[in-house]
Structure 1
Amino acid sequence: MTTAADAEIHLILKRDHQATTANVAHVFVDDVATLYSLCQAAGVRIIKGLADKDYGQRAFVFADRDGNRIDIGERLS
């Protein structure tokens, strides 16, 4: 299983940044349910709750502090 220490995402900070309503990053993980629980416990703003999607993923979307939407998913087998 990949741990949080195995990956990093860096987004550029821009003073006049305007967040979009589109997802700006899509990340696949090994255990999306655990990451979802950790995000909830940390008070992360969840945009779309954890759900199985018709395109073969279990996924959720959260917003970072600047409002950027990050899509987190796990392939369903």
Structure 2
Amino acid sequence: RSALEAIPYPGSFHASDAVLNFFGTLPANNSRHMMGTLIAFVNNLDPNKHNMSDVPAWPQYESTSQSIILWSEAGAEIVADD
């Protein structure tokens, strides 16, 4: 039994995206989309310069709108950052 079991699960955690990016977990489209946006950001300082039509434009984070991109099995969508 792990000592961490008593800690409530808060949602996504630091480096949780590494599983999608580097270990080939399903769904494969999420991995392709996330890697594409990260590579676009590294190359262009803009995650939207990726030439993938099935990924919504990743909004710049602003303290007033606080929207983020949510990756799910159904695809990616822009949602409010609660």
Question: TM-score, with normalisation over the residues of structure 1?
Answer: 0.29
| Larger relative helix fraction | 2
The structure with higher relative contact order (CA 8 Å, sep 6+) is 1
| Larger relative strand fraction | 1
Please identify the structure whose Cα radius of gyration is greater.
2
Question: TM-score, with normalisation over the residues of structure 2?
Answer: 0.28
